[in-house]
Structure 1
């Protein structure tokens, strides 16, 4: 790739896309966009493909119920642990739909299957992992936060990366959110929630679930449009606008990404197959590199802890 071609691809093209979508695109959404008034079973659902995450699924489900998620589409990818014992009570209550998904490295097909199969059950689907927790910073629930983006076809929420907190062993008697608060100074990438009236256009890319492009008609012309971010800007992947120099402080929501947890948990993950990569992408160097960026602390998610305990019946009046 020549110098001019790199300049176009990495700088000029994203700038032109940013200008177009944040003028013509935003104007079109605000003038002609409509709120989803379909009468469906669920407002917000999460799609998760997992492998041997049974020890962490209960907290993940209980937490997201606390912040306003209605339903979960769980795709089991050849797990060998006791995940079924964990999710069965939620299945019995109609909270979880469990799908057997034995195919190797088929995360993209799983997500596509979920959107195409359940688009008439739920208005929004978010594609997140079992180590990711959607954390509104001021709104009482995620559902309340999402109202402001009701006209948009897709919303990208930023990751805040959390590290090991220096722990060798994870304490399974405690919640994940109680043990890890050492984090990065700034956001990095994120995940997308898609309105099921629309279809994703960039399934073919590795990072479609980090920043989905959705087919949308701009003044009658159908084209792929990036998701809007929490600062109200429609931006191509890796070219986020809004929030200024202190984006974390100015943000209204984040996804807490507990990528590593304690050393013993990360070590286990390094040694087992991945749902996306044929070769596991986790290694010791990636752990150490991420740890070096954990220069801040963030406790925002703890504001939901007592409510989650109350909802589960762990604390009573």
Structure 2
């Protein structure tokens, strides 16, 4: 209760009118808000380009390094649209408007009409094709759906003090065994949606046609509140890997940067380290991303 009171009041849900679909819309677009990810964004871009992403919409939150250069080099300038997005906005009553959610809503409204699918992930999140070679192929059996929820698979430091040679996917191969863990902050989702049905955006839930209902990657439907029940879990077709910490030095730098929303610094540190301790309390080997990325 008290930690919640220390955080700045915020607007984290933004409603919008969905765009009208273009007649020739197709493929999947990734929307990303990013700041100073030069070290890893090239690998992330290559991974998702190989997975069949058609276009990357990058909302740049004030990067001062080579983040954008590395992404363009990895996937091609014709496949990247960069939108400057370095801001903190408030409404007339002083409530902070969640900058990440605002970026997502902007992307849907302005670019969503061109795509069958749109997803909203971070540079530490990788969408791993499981049932086919590309994401569009993995989604083919869900053509009649408009809202798909994918649970986090949480990876910790894997014993690395400094960033290892060879990148994220090859080196981080142990994760928490329970994606649907009841521990606070451990079970959450990112979505793949039909942007032409989106009526409201949040970071971890999206409303389509006025409803928060979604399906898992097998097509099993659930309400927002029921997604965290164990029976909703599936990663048969697409697995969402969340490399939450990366190396310890990168974790410490992440903590130092602070939250993307205004809040008490000590509260932020406690929340991050509580989640890290939970992720690393136990682990299982997971080679799905490594095997897919290394093949072909």
Q: TM-score by structure 1 length?
A: 0.74
Q: Which residue of 2 aligns with 1:121?
A: 114
Q: Which residue of 2 aligns with 1:270?
A: 255
1:282-301 to structure 2, matched below 5 A, reads 282=269, 283-292=272-281, 294-301=282-289
Which residue of structure 2 aligns with residue 79 of structure 1?
Answer: 63
Q: Corresponding residue for 2:238?
A: 253
Measure how far apart 1:89 and its partner are. Answer: 3.2
Query: Higher helix fraction: Structure 1 or Structure 2?
Result: 1
Counterpart Cα distance in 2 of 1:275 and 1:91: 26
> Which aligned runs of 4 or more in structure 1 are off by greater than 6 angstroms?
none
Alpha-carbon offset, residue 91 of structure 1: 7.6
- Matched residue, 1:194: 193
The verdict on how the C-alpha distance between 1:272 and 1:242 changes in structure 2, with shifts beyond 3 A counting, is: closer
Matches within 5 A, 1:1-317: 38-40=23-25, 42-89=26-73, 93-104=77-88, 105-171=98-164, 173-187=165-179, 188-201=187-200, 203=201, 208-215=202-209, 223-240=210-227, 244=231, 247=233, 251-276=236-261, 278-279=263-264, 281-282=268-269, 283-292=272-281, 294-307=282-295
TM-score (norm 2): 0.78
Q: Which stretch has the larger CA shift, 74-83 or 276-285?
A: 276-285
Distance in 2 between the 1:79 and 1:37 partners?
Answer: 33
> CA–CA distance in 2 between the matches of 1:92 and 1:75?
17
Distance 1:286 1:297, change over 3 A: same
Aligned length: 256
**Cα gap change, 1:88/1:295 in structure 2, threshold over 3 Å: closer, same or farther?**
closer
Sort the Cα spacing of 1:244 and 1:147 in 2 relative to 1 into closer, same or farther, 3 A: same
Deviation at 1:185, TM superposition (A): 1.4
Structure 2 segments unaligned to the other structure (5+ residues): 1-20, 89-97, 180-186
Give the secondary-structure state (helix, strand or coil) at the position aligned to 2:65: coil
Task: Measure, in 1, the Cα distance between the counterparts of 2:284 and 2:76.
Answer: 41
- Equivalents in 2 of 1:192, 1:177: separation in Å? 21
Q: 1:102, CA displacement in angstroms?
A: 1.1
- Alpha carbons of 1:295 and 1:87: their partners in 2 closer, same or farther (altered >3 Å)? closer
CA distances 1:208-263 after superposition (whole Å, capped 9, x unpaired)? 33232211xxxxxxx42412112322212242388759x56x73321010001111
Shift of 1:198: 0.8
In 2, the alpha carbon distance for the partners of 1:137 and 1:242 equals 22
Supply the RMSD in Å over aligned alpha carbons. Answer: 2.4
